[in-house]
Structure 1
């Protein structure tokens, strides 16, 4: 297999992007962890373990899908970067209650276009998708993460689950 210098440079760039995103995630995670009760911190740790397993499996899947192609490394590092950025946004939301605006805008717009204006119908469809997914790690991550969202930002659990499905990589 031939790998050009450009491909190697792109892979190195994708890796650097991920490493930067991972550092930002760790800062956000540690900041949130310092503000939690011991019980909520335990939930955060469990959610993070499940998220890490989900992230690794998902990005290994991206790698496997393109292997042995020359861009396989780019695909994997880009996947890791995107999922890590999404997790950082989620941690920041749990920490401050700020974020998830795209989902809540969609929650106002999509039902008017497709569900006769019934917001609950849209969230119900998203939570149905969640209940049918067989990815144990992602499912456990969402359950733990939504437990924190309910406690920290007073988000309705079904809205949290629907939001996780909406934003899922």
Structure 2
């Protein structure tokens, strides 16, 4: 029994090491190996690309929100800065919980992540517009 167990362990580790080093060596030998496929969000093909584009849209909106927030907070005094910071943290919690509620019935489905990111994107764009008004 011990011999069979040792053989099984040895075989497991041999396969595991082969998988690790085999994958690494193939990647290392192929400098043109694509890390990620480029997605055309002007005309996504299939559900996977649609969901990826929705996620990318949200990430871009979140990046823009952070830029506007940093620009605004740099113009404020200490008390105003503290109030905006507190308000923004509260808004993030509100946004996240609102979107979780909005897509709650979709949880467990294949579209859940996309629906969630659409909500996050929409609310983030709204918040960005609100903060931009304070810059005027």
Q: TM-score, normalised by structure 1?
A: 0.52
Spell out the pairing of 1:9-158 with structure 2 (5 A cutoff): 9-96=49-136
Distance apart, 1:69 and its partner CA? 2.4
Distance apart, 1:60 and its partner CA? 1.4
Larger radius of gyration: 2
Contact 1:7 1:70 in 2 (8 A): no
Structure 1: runs of 5 or more not aligned = 97-169
SS at match of 1:35: coil
1:153 matched to which residue of 2? Answer: none
Structure 2: runs of 5 or more not aligned = 1-44
Contact 1:55 1:80 in 2 (8 A): yes
How many angstroms apart in 1 are the aligned matches of 2:105 and 2:115?
9
Could you say which structure has the higher helix fraction?
Answer: 1
2:23 matched to which residue of 1? Answer: none
CA gap 1:62/1:6 in 2 versus in 1, 3 angstroms: farther
How many angstroms apart in 2 are the aligned matches of 1:77 and 1:6?
17
RMSD between aligned residues: 1.2
Distance apart, 1:89 and its partner CA? 0.2
